[in-house]
């Protein structure tokens, strides 16, 4: 997508943009996949200013994708030993199919490689066929199914997906 800019989101103001964008995307995309009540519960627990700051302090890297200074996508990557987790990757409906997810994913892979991860992993709702297909186009494969209790009577019924990362050879950058 021409004019796409990716920027690390590190400040409280940028965390507020992450939260606002996540709320818009989740309420546009997830009804029909999970209930609105679960959407609201997950957003309240995963996108508060305190939660985002704590995740960043623990090593998560947040990135916002902008088009003409308007945030249209976001990603979060967390290195954990020999692997990294793509914890969040969301693109606004107006920009889907335009390469934004690919750019965010490539950025996450680069960060993971710099963290010496050999694999990038993610969770995706088993009923989110659009996202599963997009991740498969990006080179991810389904490893297993995982059901995780997230409290308040809700579960995440997900596939765990992964892709191998080529670490840069010594002297190549």
Split at pLDDT 50, 70, 90, the class of 56 is very high
Residue 43 belongs to some domain of the structure = yes
Residue 126 belongs to some domain of the structure = no
Q: What is the pLDDT of residue 49?
A: 85
Q: Is the pTM of this model over 0.75?
A: yes
Query: 40-52, pLDDT tens digit by residue?
Result: 999 999 999 889 9
Split at pLDDT 50, 70, 90, the class of 154 is very high
Q: What is the pLDDT of residue 169?
A: 62
Mean pLDDT estimate for the chain: 94
Please report how the helices 12-29 and 36-46 are oriented relative to each other, as an axis angle in degrees rounded to 10.
Answer: 170
Residue 68 belongs to some domain of the structure = yes
Residue 168 belongs to some domain of the structure = no
Split at pLDDT 50, 70, 90, the class of 30 is very high
8 A C-beta contact, residue 171 and residue 152: no
> What is the total count of domains within the chain?
1
Residue 173: pLDDT over 80: no
Residue 163 belongs to some domain of the structure = no
Residue 90 belongs to some domain of the structure = yes
State the CATH number of the domain containing residue 15: 3.40.630.30
Average pLDDT over residues 140-160: 97
The parent domain of residue 109 ranges over 4-120
Residue 144 belongs to some domain of the structure = no
Residue 114 belongs to some domain of the structure = yes
Split at pLDDT 50, 70, 90, the class of 19 is very high
């Amino acid at each position: 997508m021409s004019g796409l800019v990716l920027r690390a989101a590190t400040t409280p103001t940028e965390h507020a943009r992450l939260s606002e964008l996540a709320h818009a995307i989740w309420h546009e995309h997830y009804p029909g996949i999970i209930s609105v009540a679960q959407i609201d519960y997950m957003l309240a627990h995963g996108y508060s200013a305190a939660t985002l700051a704590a995740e960043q302090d623990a090593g998560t890297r947040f990135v916002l994708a902008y088009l003409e200074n308007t945030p249209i996508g976001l990603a979060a990557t967390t290195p954990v030993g020999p692997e990294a987790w793509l914890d969040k990757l969301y693109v606004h409906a107006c920009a889907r199919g335009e390469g934004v997810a690919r750019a965010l994913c490539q950025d996450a892979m680069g960060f993971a490689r710099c963290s010496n991860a050999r694999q990038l992993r993610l969770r995706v709702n088993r009923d989110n066929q659009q996202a599963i297909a997009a991740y498969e186009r990006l080179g991810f494969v389904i490893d297993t199914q995982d059901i995780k209790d997230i409290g308040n009577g809700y579960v995440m019924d997900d596939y765990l997906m992964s892709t191998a990362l080529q670490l840069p050879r010594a002297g190549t950058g």
